[in-house]
Structure 1
Amino acid sequence: MDELHRRLKEAARAHRPDRERMLARVERGMAAPETRPAGAPAHRPASWPRVTTAAAAAAGVLAAGAFVLVTALDGGTDPAGTVAATSGPASRAPDSPPTGARDGYLRSDGVVDPNSNAYWAQSNITLGTDRPLTSLTLELRVAQTGGVRNTGSWRSLPEEDFTVSIRPEAGALVYRWTLKDGVTVPAGEHVFAAQYNHAEGARDAGDDRYTAIAAGSGGAAEVRGDFTGTR
């Protein structure tokens, strides 16, 4: 197999299209009489520039074929090291790394809701779990940047499944959701949201933090994260 590979490479590199012979063949073909139905209009012979163009195009195709063969045998690169062109869909660029955090079966992401404004904001935490959870405590600390006051909270899971507390602590407004005993959080993605007023203007959420501690059939898991953006 290696010997065949070597010979193919040598043959491809040694190939040199005979341009003069090709031009002569094109000229003979253009000069040959045409057979056409009676009464059909005669076609004008191709002009010399068109003959030359056709021959050059054919030579280009042969040269390109030899190039592709060589680059394929060389592993897809030309002598300069550039990647040889291939047909088919363009390859996808690597996906951007996900934001948030992950610990085993538990993952999270925090974001300031885009509907927040100069007086009010909502912080969204998305928790994803690959397994049912039998225990979950999620705490969000909204930094007291001025005028931060609670206006409510919600979750995509049933309200009656959680105990919720909201109170100021050490320079932050703290929201805490605790899963009640005997209740299970199903596998999937679940959203927890905190709503609050704040001083007029853009609010920097750079010091906001959240922590989620969970347990299930996969053991204990904990994720921590922050929020990006100013609202």
Structure 2
Amino acid sequence: MDEELRERLRTAAASHRPDRARMLARIERGMAQEPPARPARAPRTPMPWLRIAGATVAVCGVLTAGALAVTSAGREEPTSGQRVAAEPVPTAPSSPSGPRGAALPAGRGPLWSDGSLDPNSNSYWAQSEVVVKTTEKLSGLTVELRIAQNGGVNTTGSWRSLPEGDFEVSVREEEGYLVYRWALKPGRSVPVGTHTFAGQYNHDEGTRDTGRDDYTARARTTGGPAAVGGDFGDTR
């Protein structure tokens, strides 16, 4: 059976004749037809991270430009004539309100002084005060207060606002005056400031004439000696 089947197949193959012309015509028709056009591709869009990066770069550029503008504005030099240099202006000591004070003219010395009667003075007792103001440290100072002997004047004491141990103090009668004297000891100094020297005394009952009372203050400064003085006017 197998041999017979093979024989039939060989006979059928030998009798087959392909239609060559028909085959060529089919091929030509196929080649003549244009291939279908490919659909157009949509334009590529940047990836999301690329868009974010681009926006960040743009913002940074704007901020950088603004910072440069502010920096350049802050570094702008002032025009000529706008710089002002303040220099300290020395001032002379102001005058007090006490009566008949005495001082050197402003700008010519470091000392200023004033003489006055203490408001607590009365018909039997009085206190005369000398105020000395210095704008320099003093290496020497002598203050003398002279109270005229015009009726029962005798001392009851004295005091000063500076340390007691810095001064030699004396009280004596001299040519019709009761004289109080404060002398700065060697090696001591008087600081810048306002200092008070006071002499206390009794007198006859009633109103005492102070028209002849006076005082002086002599000092040693860095610029040399200086002196001031004055009186007390007609007070009780």
Q: TM-score range by the shorter chain?
A: 0.5 to 0.7
TM-score, reference length from structure 1: 0.57
1:148 aligns with 2:174: no
Q: Among residues 169, 172, 175, which one is paired with 2:180 in the alignment?
A: 175
* Partner Cα distance (1:132, 1:96) in 2: 20
3-state SS in 2 of match to 1:167: strand
CA shift for structure 1 position 229 = 3.9
* Partner Cα distance (2:95, 2:167) in 1: 34
CA shift for structure 1 position 218 = 2.6
Give the aligned partner of residue 224 of structure 2.
219
Q: Deviations over 1:149-205 (max 9, x none)?
A: 000000000011000010101111000000000001001100000000000001111
Moved over 4 A (4+): 95-99
* Partner Cα distance (2:189, 2:96) in 1: 30
Q: How does 1:107-146 map to 2 (within 5 A)?
A: 107-146=112-151
Q: Among residues 196, 205, 208, which one is paired with 1:203 in the alignment?
A: 208
* Higher gyration radius (CA): 2
3-state SS in 2 of match to 1:133: coil
Give the aligned partner of residue 166 of structure 2.
161
Q: Among residues 106, 111, 118, which one is paired with 1:106 in the alignment?
A: 111
3-state SS in 1 of match to 2:209: coil
Give the aligned partner of residue 55 of structure 2.
none
3-state SS in 1 of match to 2:139: strand
Q: 1:212 to 1:120 in 2, by over 3 A?
A: same
* Partner Cα distance (1:165, 1:129) in 2: 23
* Partner Cα distance (1:100, 1:211) in 2: 11
Q: 1:96 to 1:138 in 2, by over 3 A?
A: closer
CA contact (8 A) 1:156 1:191 kept: yes
TM-score, reference length from structure 2: 0.56
CA contact (8 A) 2:96 2:114 kept: no
Unaligned stretches of 5+ residues in structure 1: 1-94
Q: Deviations over 1:122-148 (max 9, x none)?
A: 001000000000001111110001100
Amino acid at match of 1:187: V
Percent of aligned pairs with the same amino acid: 61
Amino acid at match of 1:217: T
* Partner Cα distance (1:123, 1:153) in 2: 10
* Partner Cα distance (1:149, 1:179) in 2: 24
CA contact (8 A) 1:133 1:215 kept: yes
* Partner Cα distance (2:139, 2:219) in 1: 8
* Partner Cα distance (2:182, 2:207) in 1: 27
C-alpha RMSD over aligned residues: 1.6
* Partner Cα distance (1:162, 1:97) in 2: 25
CA contact (8 A) 2:138 2:190 kept: yes
Unaligned stretches of 5+ residues in structure 2: 1-93
Q: 1:187 to 1:96 in 2, by over 3 A?
A: closer
Q: How does 1:187-202 map to 2 (within 5 A)?
A: 187-202=192-207
